[in-house]
Amino acid sequence: MSERQPLLAVDRLTMRFGGLTAIDDLSLDVHTGRITAVIGPNGAGKTTLFNCMTGFYKPTVGSVRLNHPQRGTLALEALASHQVARAAQVVRTFQNIRLFPKMTVLENLIVAQHNPLQEASRFSLAGLLGLPSYRRAETQAVEKAVRWLTRLGLIDKADLAAGDLPYGTQRRIEIARALCVDPILLCLDEPAAGLNPRESAELNALLQSLVRDDGLSILLIEHDMNVVMNVSDHICVLNYGRKIAEGTPEAIRTNPSVIQAYLGEEEDERYDGDKGAAR
Amino acid sequence: MGEPVVQVLGGATLADRSKDALAVAFVALLLGIPMVGLTTVDQGGTLQVATRWPILAAFVLAVFAGRLVLRYLADRLGERRVRRERSLTSSDQRRTAGGRRMIVRVGWLAFIGALLLPIAFSDNRYVVDTATTVLIYVMLGWGLNVVVGLAGLLDLGHVAFYAVGAYAYALLSTQFGWGFWVALPVAGLIAAGFGLIIGWPSLRLRGDYLAIVTLGFGEIIRVILINWTEFSGGPNGITSIPRPTFFGLPFKPPSDEPTFASFFGLEFSPVHRIVFLYYVILVLCVLTNVFVTRLRRLPVGRAWEAVREDEIACKALGINVTNVKLSAFVLGAMLGGVAGVFFAARQGFISPESFTFNESAIILAIVVLGGMGSQLGVVLASLVLVLLPELGRDFAEYRMLLFGTAMILIMIWKPGGILSKREPTLRHAREEGRP
């Protein structure tokens, strides 16, 4: 299965901000029907990778290719950010939640379906006249939103302003909203950040069901090892913008360079502590 | 300068409040000694310094008492707001539903009132004239509301599109003999074209730059109109702009050709035209309202609000943010242009003086004061902003002071505008009931 052409191929990607190299010669494959996780200490370049993939940054060197099942191979690094979601169907969420806070949860999900709805409204003319073709499209959009809200257990919040809801709920709303764009690749930036253990267990179940039942592929940035180790099929570890390891959760767990990157600081601290005690 | 003024929070004791008021009174004393306590008098040709201690004492006392009352009121209002925010429960939804019905009811009442106004005041030219001015501002406010209130773009030069519309009609009618109803959409489109030219490059920039570009554009238009004398008549403006006719019947004293009065067998009265103009702008306003309210519930309207809320999230969802902003900006420009056409036709004379930055500021104030994005809020704010200076005429030079105080009070009382409650564009609860 993994021998097939990857869904997304990041090839020798480098991103420099002035003198700072945030991503250094990174190559990474994401396969269809899998959950791929990108982990690494803070400042390792994980979010920068997302920004390069989704058109928010233009990478200094390198390419990001998406092998779209219907639309052929697309060069994501050359697309504008809205085209990445629209044409390539690669949809992302944000580390610091970005909802439309004053709009209701349902409206948030309807906005995500802007492009098909705007087409159905024919430059707003059919919409202004209230033609049946537009009304049908709107009903379908609401149905789709309601379907996702029900699935994520948010349906009783549908008419509340998104910004007034608790943090964990907002995270789920952001995922539901991204799902309304019909992604083939869903990129989640720290979806478990700020969730309590019960909520992150629910998140695990959701991610697995999205891949199993809906045929989605997921790329995940995450710090919560509970989530990463339980759901990922493949893990890529970054440190200082470089890939230091890659493999299955089991392989990563025992990989010495990963342990050094993550736990090395702890050893240093103990060493300092010993020194302090000796003095 | 004395002790720092402490912000007294809710639940303050009388002692806290008195201490706060004392501190303020002390500042007033320091400031008051040179400003109130000492004055110069002309004594025998030379200036002498005289003291006015009783007045100073009264001044300090007034500040002390005023601060006590103000603090008390502000605390009470603050407490009420906190309590309101805390009670965000299911009963809140019910209350919102009640509020929505109330707003709809007030809207209809206002509309019926507006329909009947010229009949009730048919002999009072001043009332109908002022009401027409209010409606012009309502229309301008609704146009700018799309740009500022819904799409969240700070447009400081809305008056430019108003001017473009007005001059387009003035020139089309005086130079080419176009009628009002033909020129109306054309001038609207010309204003929209200007909106496109300005918006296309500048909407790619971040918010603050758009404010500067629009501010500059407003001034550019005005300066061009003043200096390009052959085109716009310069500072003298354009005179004898034809008034709108009633389906081809002019509002004129009896003459050979049929007029409105002679056709309907009425005695000629100049009020006819005033009332007719009032109804024209009322119809334009109603059309604008229906148009904008419907657009808001369409994908494009929701995208406007989404762009206001979070541009980056919009991009991540595949929305072309520049196009969405451009559509809002151009629509606002067009509505401003249409209002300009009406303004030119009503006045019969326009000059660059009518299109200063002051005008832009008033329209923006209407939108902000009304509550960004609220249609009824714009109506209420227009009423306040047009009527207050009118009512204040008796206070002569104090009228602008009155006006400013009223604006400050509204902003203290309702920081989000008169009607700041946002109305969702669609609801799950209702959708469920649909077949």
* Tens-place pLDDT, residues B16-51: 888 888 999 999 999 988 888 888 888 888 888 888
Report domain extents, chain B. Answer: 14-82, 125-426
Read off the pLDDT of each residue in A5-32 and give the average, rounded to a whole number: 92
Cβ(B334)–Cβ(B188) below 8 Å: yes
Same domain, A74 and A188: yes
Please write the tens of the pLDDT for every residue from B142-162: 999 999 999 999 899 999 999
On whether residue A57 sits in a domain, the answer given is: yes
Task: Tell me which amino acid residue A12 is.
Answer: R
Residue A53's pLDDT is: 92
Please write the tens of the pLDDT for every residue from A143-170: 999 999 999 999 999 999 999 999 989 9
Instruction: Select from A159, A182, A205 the last residue of a domain.
Output: A182
Chain-chain contact of A118 with B309 (C-beta, under 8 angstroms):
no
On average, the pLDDT of chain A sits at: 88
On whether residue A142 sits in a domain, the answer given is: yes
Residue A275's pLDDT is: 42
Which positions in chain A touch B429 (Cβ < 8 Å)? 158-159
Which residues share a beta bridge with A65? Answer: A9, A75
Same domain, A141 and A190: no
Asked whether residue B432 carries a pLDDT value surpassing 60, the answer given is: no
Same domain, A167 and A193: no
Read off the pLDDT of each residue in B362-381 and give the average, rounded to a whole number: 88
Q: What's the pLDDT band for B416 if we cut at 50, 70, 90?
A: confident
Q: Which domain holds residue A103?
A: 98-182
On whether residue A275 sits in a domain, the answer given is: no
Read off the pLDDT of each residue in A4-11 and give the average, rounded to a whole number: 89
The answer for residues whose C-beta is within 8 angstroms of residue B250's C-beta and 6 or more apart is: B243, B257, B259, B260
Interface probe, candidates A94, A95, A124, chain B, greatest B C-beta count within 10 A: A124
Same domain, A245 and A230: yes
Which residues share a beta bridge with A235? Answer: A37, A247
Does A100 touch chain B if contact means CB atoms closer than 8 Å?
A: yes
Q: What is the percentage of chain A residues whose pLDDT exceeds 90? A: 67
**Candidates A56, A107, A138; nearest CB to B424:** A107
Residue B4's pLDDT is: 47
Residue A3's pLDDT is: 54
Task: Tell me which amino acid residue B185 is.
Answer: P
How long is chain B?
A: 435
Asked whether residue A2 carries a pLDDT value surpassing 70, the answer given is: no
Same domain, A226 and A252: yes
**Candidates A91, A118, A142; nearest CB to B431:** A142
Write out B357-424 in H/E/C secondary structure: HHHHHHHHHHHHHHCCCCHHHHHHHHHHHHHHHHHHHHHHHHHHHHHHHHHHHHHHHCCCCCCCCCCC
Interface probe, candidates B298, B321, B422, B423, chain A, greatest A C-beta count within 10 A: B298
Q: What's the pLDDT band for B431 if we cut at 50, 70, 90?
A: very low
Residues 68-97 of A with CB under 8 A from B: 80-86, 91-94
Residue A259's pLDDT is: 84
On whether residue A154 sits in a domain, the answer given is: yes
Cβ(B335)–Cβ(B184) below 8 Å: no
Burial B62-72 (b: 16+ CB within 10 A, else e): ebbeebbeebe
Cα dihedral B126/B392/B340/B419 (nearest 10):
-110
Going by C-alpha positions, the residue among A163, A165, A159 that lies closest to residue A146 is A159
Please write the tens of the pLDDT for every residue from B291-311: 999 999 999 999 999 999 999
**B315 half-sphere exposure, CB direction, 13 A CA radius:** 15
On whether residue A279 sits in a domain, the answer given is: no
Residue A119 and residue A114: Cα distance in Å, rounded? 8
If one counts the domains in chain A, the total is 2
Asked whether residue A256 carries a pLDDT value surpassing 70, the answer given is: yes
DSSP secondary structure letter of residue B354 = G
Q: Which residue has tokens 């982990």?
A: A39
DSSP, residue by residue, B288-336? HHHHHHHHHTSHHHHHHHHHHH-HHHHHHTT--HHHHHHHHHHHHHHHH
For residue B63, the distance in angstroms to the closest alpha carbon of chain A comes to: 40
Asked whether residue B7 carries a pLDDT value surpassing 60, the answer given is: no
Which residues share a beta bridge with B353? Answer: none
Same domain, A117 and A157: yes
Interface of B with A (CB under 8 A): 88, 93, 291, 294-295, 298-300, 302-303, 305-306, 309-310, 312-321, 422, 424-429, 431, 434
Which positions in chain A touch B318 (Cβ < 8 Å)? 82-86, 91, 114-115, 181
- Between B18 and B333, the higher pLDDT residue: B333
Same domain, A65 and A125: no
Q: What's the pLDDT band for B263 if we cut at 50, 70, 90?
A: confident
Chain-chain contact of B319 with A111 (C-beta, under 8 angstroms):
yes
In the sheet with A35-39, reading across from the earlier edge strand, the strands are: A90-92, A185-189, A217-221, A35-39, A234-239, A242-247
On whether residue A237 sits in a domain, the answer given is: yes
Task: Tell me which amino acid residue B73 is.
Answer: L
Read off the pLDDT of each residue in B174-194 and give the average, rounded to a whole number: 93
Please write the tens of the pLDDT for every residue from A68-86: 999 999 999 999 999 999 9
Tokens found for residue B164: 């473009």
Instruction: Select from A165, A182, A199 the last residue of a domain.
Output: A182
Does A111 touch chain B if contact means CB atoms closer than 8 Å?
A: yes
Going by C-alpha positions, the residue among A247, A157, A189 that lies closest to residue B424 is A157
Instruction: Select from A182, A204, A235 the last residue of a domain.
Output: A182
On whether residue A122 sits in a domain, the answer given is: yes
Strand, coil or helix: A36: strand
Q: What's the pLDDT band for B326 if we cut at 50, 70, 90?
A: very high
Read off the pLDDT of each residue in B417-428 and give the average, rounded to a whole number: 82
Residue B334's pLDDT is: 96
- Going by DSSP bridges, is the β-strand pair B46-51/B38-43 parallel, antiparallel, or unpaired? antiparallel
Asked whether residue A279 carries a pLDDT value surpassing 70, the answer given is: no
Residue A258's pLDDT is: 85
The answer for residues whose C-beta is within 8 angstroms of residue B175's C-beta and 6 or more apart is: none
- Going by DSSP bridges, is the β-strand pair A242-247/A234-239 parallel, antiparallel, or unpaired? antiparallel
Residue A277's pLDDT is: 41
- Going by DSSP bridges, is the β-strand pair A234-239/A185-189 parallel, antiparallel, or unpaired? unpaired
Please write the tens of the pLDDT for every residue from A75-134: 999 999 999 999 999 999 999 999 999 999 999 999 999 999 998 888 788 888 888 889
Same domain, A137 and A103: yes
Residue B293's pLDDT is: 92
Cβ(B75)–Cβ(B8) below 8 Å: yes
| Fold observed for domain B125-426 | ABC transporter involved in vitamin B12 uptake, BtuC (1.10.3470)
Asked whether residue A278 carries a pLDDT value surpassing 80, the answer given is: no
Same domain, A69 and A196: yes
Please write the tens of the pLDDT for every residue from B75-111: 887 777 777 666 654 445 555 666 677 778 888 888 8
Same domain, A177 and A190: no
- Going by DSSP bridges, is the β-strand pair A217-221/A234-239 parallel, antiparallel, or unpaired? unpaired
On average, the pLDDT of chain B sits at: 85
Residue B79's pLDDT is: 79
Q: What's the pLDDT band for B114 if we cut at 50, 70, 90?
A: confident
Chain-chain contact of B303 with A114 (C-beta, under 8 angstroms):
yes
Asked whether residue A28 carries a pLDDT value surpassing 60, the answer given is: yes
Same domain, A112 and A145: yes
Residue A9's pLDDT is: 93
Does A129 touch chain B if contact means CB atoms closer than 8 Å?
A: no
Same domain, A201 and A252: yes
> Using only C-alpha atoms, what is the Rg of chain A?
21
CATH of the domain at A195: 3.40.50.300
Which residues share a beta bridge with A36? Answer: A219, A234
The answer for residues whose C-beta is within 8 angstroms of residue B53's C-beta and 6 or more apart is: B37
Residue B430 and residue B433: Cα distance in Å, rounded? 5
Q: What is the percentage of chain B residues whose pLDDT exceeds 70? A: 91
